[in-house]
Amino acid sequence: MNSAVIINIAYILSAALFIYGLKELSSPATARRGNFISSVGMFIAVVVTLFNQGILEYQWIILGIAIGGLIGAAAARTVAMTAMPEMVALFNGFGGLASLLVGWVALYGAGTTTFTIITIILSVLIGGVTFTGSIIAWGKLSGKIDGKPILFSGQQIFNTLLMLGILVCGVLFALEPTNLTYLYVIIALSFVFGIMFVIPIGGGDMPVVISLLNSYSGLAACAAGFAINNLLLIVAGSLVGASGIILTKIMCKAMNRSLSNVLFSGFGSPKQIAGEVEGTVKPIVAEDAFYILEAASNVLVVPGYGMAVAQAQHVVKELQELLEKNGCEVVYGVHPVAGRMPGHMNVLLAEADVSYDVLMEMDSVNPRMENFDVAIVIGANDVVNPAAREDESSPLFGMPIINVDIARTVFVLKRSMAAGFAGVQNPLFFKENTRMLFGDAKESISQVIREFSG
């Protein structure tokens, strides 16, 4: 069996592992295994490709694997759960940068046919946009850049000129591939366009942006695969690109908004923020919360980013077990865009070993909301805001939410009365059936648990 056959078999095996791993990622119960299977497929693909091309000697390949593995293991173990969205944004960005570099290098070995030049331009363009766009998303998510939309006069005209500049340079480079000045200009403009692409998008739309940038990183890899004529890279990039687009569509549907509205509306800008909501807040202490929970038969827990900040998922699981021992049914209502990235709350709850059987989607919990004795909202805000259902002037209006305000009693765990990440005030806090349990969510739930123990 010659080396070409062995390499093709390895590529087929890697592609099969990618597809099977992606299928496993569709369920929280198998997602971890799916991630591992996909990573094994990529490991095989990278090693076989490097050996095939004779790019590096084996000792350098092993050194690269060791260094990369150490960095990845250290990052995975040290990153806080609250910083997971930022880490995903960086992963997308570096994936885009890698595709940009692959496309650039392909210029020196892939020939100068028109098709190859076009794929190189696409790889460089999409990779550059993904890289700087992801860096801006990382900055917004980490608080290093203001999460509100950044808008200025003439912004659309500036973006149009950027796209025209990229198009013109792309055509000129295709006509004259030996003139690398055009390629350098395309790289520079793609970096600028990536920045301009993300800065007008508000923090409340970051889950959509992350899934879209994930798709872009896949499309960039696919273009790079065409540039270097690597079928496996084309397959892997296509899978990532397609899955990212599907996830983006799901996120947009969960917010009842079109993708164009997310990208171009400047959601969360000062002119769109609704005014202050007036009413009387009814605070509650842990002891009173305990008495209400002790008598409850059905409890719904709605997690949000505040649960991640407080690292409260473990005490939430402990409270769930105490309630279940008391004969109470406990389920979790997880909104598709809760947190800062798709699946953020599922990851948090999985870390605390919360059973997947009690995780319910919005469409499953809303029809039975009236039957819940208590709905406990932990750090969520925008995804439970009744203004989305009641106030046509609210920028959230029309967004599907978890209708916790219909439950018999609502506990809202928050540090303060501050608005959510989208910057929209929440009238839920002033409803007659709402009680506010102020303070750190982890400490507040721990106090309730101590009441049960006592």
- Reported as a single tens digit per residue, the pLDDT across 89-121 is 898 999 999 999 998 988 876 566 888 899 999
Residue 46 has pLDDT above 80, yes or no: yes
The predicted-structure confidence for 305-350, as pLDDT tens digits, reads as follows 888 888 899 999 999 999 999 999 999 999 988 877 778 888 888 8
Contacts 24+ apart (CB under 8 A), 156-165: 158/196, 159/193, 159/196, 162/189, 162/192, 162/193, 162/196, 163/193, 165/189
Per the listing, tokens 């928050």 go with 414
- What's the rounded Cα separation, in Å, for the pair 16 and 348? 29
**pTM metric for this prediction:** 0.78
The predicted-structure confidence for 269-290, as pLDDT tens digits, reads as follows 444 444 556 678 889 999 999 9
Residues 397, 391: contact at Cβ < 8 Å? yes
**Does 382 qualify as catalytic in the annotation?**
yes
> Which pLDDT band, with edges at 50, 70 and 90, does 301 fall under?
very high
Over range 198-219, report the average pLDDT: 84
Of residues 315 and 30, which shows the higher confidence score? 315
Catalytic residue among 146, 288, 357, 382: 382
Domain locations in the chain as residue ranges: 1-78, 93-272, 286-453
> Which pLDDT band, with edges at 50, 70 and 90, does 261 fall under?
low
At position 14, the amino acid (one-letter code) is S
- What's the rounded Cα separation, in Å, for the pair 141 and 201? 12
Q: What is the CATH number of domain 286-453?
A: 3.40.50.1220
Residue 265 has pLDDT above 60, yes or no: no
